Structures are given as structure tokens and as C-alpha cells.
Chains A and B, each alone.
Chain A
Amino acid sequence: MAVRRSYTATVERNVRWAGEFATEPYEAAWASEAIFFVRALDVAPGFSGTAVVQISADGIHWADEGASFDLPTTKDQATFCKVSHFGGWLRIRGALPGSESITVLVSLALKE
């Protein structure tokens, strides 16, 4: 029996986001579905923020895919965003206002 291939990439680990942020470009042309998980490793009380999914034809020039999601607000909370029909490259990006920051672990779970 052939099983569907899957792979989870840790695209950011123990990275602190402040101001504008974006994950590194990740190639996923082989996959047909993806979930970005963001887990808070450290976050201050009262934090709030959002990220948007971006897609790219070449890994260099990016366009908003249309999906957005809330970032976690408490330590070890995870939030996620499902994506499909995304072509070759994926990333998430966002901008945190003022002095807001969050330390994250971002997993990208891919499946054929």
C-alpha cells in the first residue's frame, strides 16, 4: 500500500518576532496541503498579533494568499492556519505594533 508522503519542517525555532517578521521561504511544490503551526515559547501578557500566509512563484516575489490567523497569546499555546492549492513556495509574514514581541516555534506540516 502506498501511503501519502508528509513532512513537517521547523521553519523557525526560538525566534523572537518584533516589528515586521517573515518566515524563511519554504519549497513545497510536492505537497497539496499545508498547515502552519505557531507555538509561543515566550510571550508577554496582553499580547495580540496576526500573521498572513504568502505564496510565491519563485521564492523571491511574494503575494498574500488571502488567509490570516491570530498568533498565540499565552506561553505554549499553538495557533494554526490551513492552506491548499499554493503552488511552489510558502511563508507567513506580519507586523507587530510598537513594543509587542513574541518568541515562537513555527512548524509547517505538509502532505501530498
Chain B
Amino acid sequence: MSAHLADLRLSRFDPLERVIFYDDFDEGIRGWSELIGNYEHTLDSMLPEYSDMRPPMLSNLTMWDTGTAGSMEGDYALKLASRARAGSLATSIKRLTFRKRGHIQLECYFTFKPEASELRLSVNDVRAFGLLFDLQDGMNPEYRWMPHLRYHNAQDGQMINRWQVKGATRAFANIGDSGETVSHFHLGPENWEYLDAPAQTLAYNEIATKMNWHYLKVNVDLAERRFLGFQCNDLIYEGEPLKYISIPAMPNLNCMLNTAFWVETNRDKRAFLYLDSVLLSGEF
């Protein structure tokens, strides 16, 4: 039996050979910060889409009707909260570098809900959530590449319940006047493509104050720059490698291994994404 199966905290994961990080948010915020756009001289120079991506917080999932639920294992989860404005995103990122271009795997337990500010079903109030990697080769880099995986929950009044990837970003914009800083926004509504996978209805559980935790696993090969597949609960995608954003390598990003989560609201109501724990493992 693998050693991790005997560890009560790790036995619910299937890590690769070595754990790069394991974040249980009962222990704090663990390096997850708000994503921000690049700027020069003034915050006004930032691309407006990046100006307000909201700070993460530690939540014990307290509801107005039933009190505190706590997280899946323990008391606290990492919470991303959008503003109460349709289309608002909250995005949190953890920034690392890698030491070997091998296979990496991210696993997490998550749940998502709209703010429980109305006494109605609210099942289509969250538009989407997702996770992305922001990666660049190491020595003599050729590419920066960004696998994105998005669960499109609903659009306007329609349930969608399908997984998406993104193969193209917006054009780069110059930031400031020095010629040294650029920026591109890659979380806009354009260029998402539905996967050749069935719709997946994630348990919502009838009212906005009941959360069920879900499992997600995503696999990426840094050596071959392949976005290999993913698993969410009992849906396993192991088809053709998935599309991702690819751009020429940038000057100061070598070996970058960033992981980010985001949540988008569909209405003028806050959308929340909760992460009980996140585990990144790899072969190195």
C-alpha cells in the first residue's frame, strides 16, 4: 500500500511520485494571493479587467440559516468571492517555479455557490469557475503556455454544465511608457471551447446554503507541453490532449509554475468558490 493511503489527510488523493505542495486551509492561506495585472507608475495603467480580482479569504462556511458547516476536513476553506455584479471574477494564484520538466498533477476538493441572499433555488447564479496553469519553459525557453479548464455552469438563465478549455488569449497591450511592461487578459468570455465530454451536473443540493464537496484532478506534462486531461468526480477525460494558450517565451518567467483558481458570477450577486485543500504533485 502506498504510504499516502495510510495518511488520513492524504488518502483521499492520488498524488504522483512527490508532493510539491499540499495546502489544507485549516492551516492558513498557504501562499494563495489575489491575482493582479501589471502596472507602471500608477494603478490606473493596469488593464481594467485585472483591477479588481478580489482577495481570497479563509471561510468556515457559515450560513444565515444553519450556522457553521466548516470545510470538508476541518474548519476552514479558501474562499474566492466575486463582487455582486454580473461578470465579476475573483481570482487567486499561487506562484512557484519548477526544477524539472516532468508530469505534474493538481488535485483539490472544491464547492461553489452563489451568496445566499435570496430564498430561491439560485442554481444558475454562478456562471463559471475554473483553474489554470501559467507555465514557461526553463533553460533556453521557447514558450509560455497556459492550460485553462473552466466549468461553465450557467449563462444568463440557462444551465450549461459543461467543461471548456481555451486555446487563444487577447492581444498583448503595452503598459505604461517605458516599453518594459506588457499585459494580456486571458479570462475574458471569448475563445472558450466546449470539450468533447458529456455535460456534468455537479450536485447543487437545492438551496444556496447547502454545499457538497467535489473532487477535481488535472494533469499536465511540462516536458512535452501537453494538457493531458482531468477528472471531476466520476467524469474522467482521457481523450486527445487539450488545447491551451501558447505564446512566445517572455524575458523573466523561466521555470514559472503558477496555479490559479477563479469564479465568475452570472447575476448581480456574489459567487463563491471554496477550496478545502489543494495538492500539487509531480514526477521529479
Contact = CB atoms under 8 A, between A and B. Distances in A.
22 contacts: A7-B28, A9-B55, A9-B57, A10-B34, A10-B55, A11-B55, A13-B43, A13-B52, A14-B44, A14-B51, A15-B52, A24-B81, A24-B83, A26-B55, A28-B58, A29-B58, A30-B60, A59-B115, A60-B64, A60-B116, A60-B117, A88-B62
Nearest to B77: A27
B28 A5 contact: yes
Contacts of A28: 57-58
Contacts of B116: 58, 60
A29 B60 contact: yes
Contacts of A13: 43, 51-52
A52 interface: no
Contacts of B63: 58
A11 B56 CA distance: 10
Contacts of B124: none
Contacts of B44: 14
Interface residues of A, number: 22
Secondary structure at chain B's binding surface: helix, strand, loop or mixed?
loop
A7 B29 contact: yes
A83 to B, nearest CB: 16
B51 to A, nearest CB: 6
Nearest to A41: B43
Prevailing SS type, chain A contact patch: loop
A102 to B, nearest CB: 15
A18 B155 CA distance: 32
A94 interface: no
Contacts of B60: 27, 29-30, 88
Contacts of A26: 55, 57
A60 B118 CA distance: 10
Nearest to B79: A27
Interface of B: 28-29, 34, 43-44, 51-52, 54-55, 57-60, 62-64, 76, 79, 81, 83, 115-117, 270
Contacts of B51: 13-14
B83 A29 contact: no
Contacts of B117: 60
Contacts of A25: 81, 270
Given A13-B51, A57-B64, 19 more contacts: A5-B28, A7-B28, A10-B34, A10-B55, A14-B44, A14-B51, A24-B81, A24-B83, A26-B55, A27-B57, A27-B59, A27-B62, A28-B57, A29-B62, A58-B62, A58-B63, A58-B116, A59-B62, A60-B115
A11 B116 CA distance: 21
Contacts of B115: 59-60
The 10 tightest CB contacts between A and B, nearest first, are: A58-B64, A9-B55, A14-B43, A27-B57, A27-B59, A5-B28, A29-B60, A60-B117, A30-B58, A88-B62
